[in-house]
Structure 1
Amino acid sequence: MEMTPDETTLFTVWGIGINETVGYTWVVMILLTVASIVIARNLRPDVPPNRWRTTLEVIVTAIQSQIEEISPRSSRHVLYFSGTLFLFIALSNLLLVVPGFTPPTASLSTTAALALSVLIAVPLFGITGQGIRGYLKTYVQPSVIMLPFNIISEFSRGISLAIRLYGNVMSGAVIAGILLGIAPFFFPVVMDVLGLLTGLIQAYIFAILATVYISSATAVVGKPLHKEKDK
């Protein structure tokens, strides 16, 4: 049993082997892009909503309400980032039910890349919200002595995000392989259901943690949070 999709070549292009991680990552991105274009092409007030538009509005509204509870400031910009993370991870894990599909989130390289995107986004949001000087001041709060600890904390967040997502997806795959070897006719259905549930939960947790980190970076020290209307 393969422990990671990085070890399996999906296809070859011009003599270069494309492993499952890269190949299925592009599959997920293409599906999300095509779905967004198809659903949003008639997204106008004069066009009656269909079931796909209604489903999209429900998903976006639910994600935005969760973000607004955590990060009232500039919630729409956070929605674009955290919402994309959630949809990518959720779809990657949901496609696990497709025979032969290996979720790219089962690779540490994918989860590390997602965590790295959060590490880059946090200071960018922080600088945008507070300015360079205001954001850098958060590293010396409550005193200069905390500077190295705050820096280590930033990097540990990314590491914990990557390992948490990778560990949960991989542990589910390993357990499924063991159970399938014991009773292959009963456990597939049960493991598929549990895999879908776990996948959605992990996508939710990852997106929420990213939102929490961004909210912490954009919060102005000494000022209470208040909701601001997006312009």
Structure 2
Amino acid sequence: MTLSPDEITMLTLWGFAVNATIFYTWIVMAVLTVASMIITRNLRADVPPNRWRTTLEVIVQTIQGQIEEIAGGPSRHLIYFAGTLFLFVAASNLLLVVPGFEPPTSSLSTTTALALSVLVAVPLFGITSRGLGGYLMTYLQPSFIMLPFNIISEFSRGISLAIRLYGNIMSGAVIAAILLTVAPFFFPVVMDLLGLLTGMIQAYIFAILATVYISSATAPRKSSDPQEDTP
């Protein structure tokens, strides 16, 4: 049993070996791209709304409402980033039902890349919202002594995101392999259902944590003088 799709070579292109992690990442991106084109091809203002369009609007508004509740206000810019993270992780885990599919999220390299994208997004969103000086000042709060601790905390967030996602997906695969050796006829269905549920939960948690980290960087800095916050 292979513990990571990085160990599986799918094909060779121009002398470079393409492992299962990269190969199935391309598959997930292709599925999401084609699905988005099919779903949104008739979503136009001049077309009367139907049941499918109403369902999509409810889903998008629900996601937007949760993000705005976390961010404390309108945050449309977060929908695209957090929504993309959720769709990629969810699609990777849902495709487990396809025989032979190796979810790229079961590779530490993929989860690390996702965590790094969050680490890069946090200062970018923070600088865009507060300005360079305002964002850098957050590392000096509540005093300059906290600078190294705030920097360590920033990187530890990314590490915890990567290890949490990888550990949960990987542990599910290992448990499934052990149970299959014990009762190969009954447990596959149960483990597939459990894997789908766990995959959706992990996608949701990952997107929510990314939203929380970015929202903390873009939130307006509170003034120490109460009179300055009075409208």
- Name the CA distance, whole Å, in 2 between partners of 1:47 and 1:132: 44
1:114 maps onto 2:114 in alignment? yes
* TM-score when normalising by structure 2: 0.93
Question: Match for residue 190 of structure 2?
Answer: 190
Counterpart of 1:89, as a letter, is V
Aligned residue in 2 for 1:56: 56
The aligned residue for residue 212 of structure 1 is 212
1:163-197 alpha-carbon deviations (Å, 9 max, x no partner):
00000000000000000000000000000000000
**Counterpart in the other structure of 1:171:** 171
How far, CA to CA, are the matches of 1:77 and 1:36 in structure 2? 19
Which structure exhibits the higher relative contact order, with contacts defined as CA atoms closer than 8 Å and separated by 6 or more residues?
A: 1
What's the % identity of the aligned pairs?
Answer: 76
Q: Which residue matches 2:71?
A: 71
The worse-fitting range, judged by mean Cα deviation, of 101-110 and 13-22 is: 13-22
1:141-156 correspondence to structure 2 within 5 Å? 141-156=141-156
Q: Distance in 2 between matches of 1:48 and 1:175?
A: 48
Supply the AA of the counterpart residue of 2:160. S
The equivalences for 1:132-147 within 5 A come to: 132-147=132-147
Please state if 1:130 is matched with 2:130: yes
- Secondary structure of residue in 1 paired with 2:195: helix
Give the drift of 1:110.
0.2
Segment drifting more, 13-22 vs 154-163: 13-22
- Gaps of at least 5 residues in structure 2 are 227-231
Structure 1 alignment gaps of length 5 or more: 225-231
C-alpha distance in structure 1 between counterparts of 2:100 and 2:189, whole Å: 15
Aligned to 2:160: 160
* Structure 2 residue matching 1:158: 3-state secondary structure: helix
TM-score of the two chains, using structure 1 as the length reference: 0.93
Q: Secondary structure at the match of 1:17?
A: strand
C-alpha distance 13-52 of structure 1, shift in aligned 2 (>3 A): farther
| Counterpart in the other structure of 2:41 | 41
Partner Cα separation in structure 1 for residue 59 and residue 18 of structure 2 = 33
Which residue is 1:229 aligned to? none
Q: After superposing the two structures, state which structure 1 stretch, 35-44 or 129-138, moved more.
A: 35-44
Higher mean alpha-carbon deviation, 185-194 vs 71-80, is at 71-80
Spell out, residue by residue over 1:93-128, the C-alpha distance to the aligned partner (whole angstroms, 9 max, x if none).
Answer: 000111000100000000000000000000000001
* Counterpart residue identity of residue 46, structure 2: D
Q: 1:173 to 1:125 in 2, by over 3 A?
A: same
Aligned length: 224
Where 1:10 maps in the other structure, the secondary structure is: strand
Residue 19 of structure 2 is matched in structure 1 by 19
Question: What code does the residue aligned with 2:96 have?
Answer: L
Aligned to 1:228: none
State the SS of the aligned residue for 2:142. Answer: coil
Larger-Rg structure = 2
